[in-house]
């Protein structure tokens, strides 16, 4: 609903909701917690005030929205950090040990252990043998799917019939 702004019902006048739709970023958790304790169970969590076209937001709903926004922003920040680390490091195969190590492109150092900031994110080496094997697997799968499609089209174009004179199908 463009043009509308959200207004929180609480006693702190200094904490305001911006007039930009869908953006909530100036409330602190303490003021929301204080107001949540004063709320009756009979209050409607969210309703539209028809006379002013403003939203009256229940503090518990507002707290949930703030928590979701915070979690989403945290996840985005974690992905950005992982992307920066992936740009800095390269996964390299060591033929002597047949293991992979992490090479820091900026410092020129290498290490056997995964950088801590990568967490559970995987990096893949520019391994020509692995790329070649993947291409062969993909080509085999494409062949299988193409053969299946041709057989489906052949079956749909022909119909088996019984010839009573010869007994053939």
Q: Which residue has the higher pLDDT, 39 or 65?
A: 65
Cα–Cα distance measured from residue 9 to residue 15, given in angstroms and rounded to the nearest whole number = 10
With respect to residue 43, please indicate whether it lies within any of the assigned structural domains.
Answer: yes
| Report for 34-38, 42-46, 80-84, 126-130: range of highest mean pLDDT | 80-84
pLDDT above 90 covers a percentage of the chain that reads: 25
Residue 22 lies in a domain: yes
62-75 b/e (C-beta count within 10 Å ≥ 16 → b):
bbeebeeeeeeeee
Question: Would you state the structure tokens that stand for residue 10, as one six-digit string?
Answer: 């609480």
Is residue 58, in this structure, part of any structural domain at all? Answer: yes
pLDDT band for position 127 (50/70/90)? low
User: For the chain, what is the domain count?
Assistant: 1
Q: Check residue 119 and give left, alpha or beta (phi > 0: left; psi -120 to 50: alpha).
A: left
| Closest among 10, 113, 22 to 66, alpha carbons compared | 22
Q: Domain for residue 54, yes or no?
A: yes
Asked whether residue 20 is assigned to any structural domain, the reply reads yes
Domain-located, residue 25: yes
pLDDT digits (tens, 9 = 90+) for 12-43: 444 444 444 444 444 444 444 444 444 444 45
Domain span at 12: 6-80
Is residue 122 a part of any domain in this protein? no
CA 104, 109, 114: angle at the middle one, nearest 5? 60
Distance in angstroms (rounded) separating the CA atoms of residues 67 and 61: 10
SS3 for 107-169 is: CCCEECCCCHHHCCCCCCCCCHHHHHHHHHHHHHHHHHHHHHHHHHHHHHHCCCCCCCCCCCC
93 in a structural domain: no
């Amino acid at each position: 609903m463009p043009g509308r702004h959200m207004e929180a019902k609480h006693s702190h006048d200094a904490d305001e909701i911006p007039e930009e739709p869908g953006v909530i970023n100036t409330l602190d958790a303490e003021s929301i917690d204080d107001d949540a304790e004063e709320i009756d169970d009979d209050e409607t969590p969210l309703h539209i005030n028809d006379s002013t076209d403003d939203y009256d937001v229940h503090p518990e709903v507002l707290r949930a929205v703030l928590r979701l926004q915070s979690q989403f922003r945290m996840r985005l920040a974690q992905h950005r950090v992982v992307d920066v680390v992936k740009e800095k490091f390269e996964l390299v195969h060591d033929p002597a040990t047949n293991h992979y190590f992490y090479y820091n492109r900026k410092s020129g150092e290498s290490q056997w252990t995964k950088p801590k900031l990568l967490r559970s994110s995987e990096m893949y080496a520019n391994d020509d043998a692995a790329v070649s094997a993947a291409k062969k697997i993909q080509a085999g799968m494409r062949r299988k799917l193409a053969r299946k499609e041709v057989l489906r089209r052949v079956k749909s174009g022909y119909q088996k019939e019984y010839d009573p004179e010869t007994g053939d199908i």
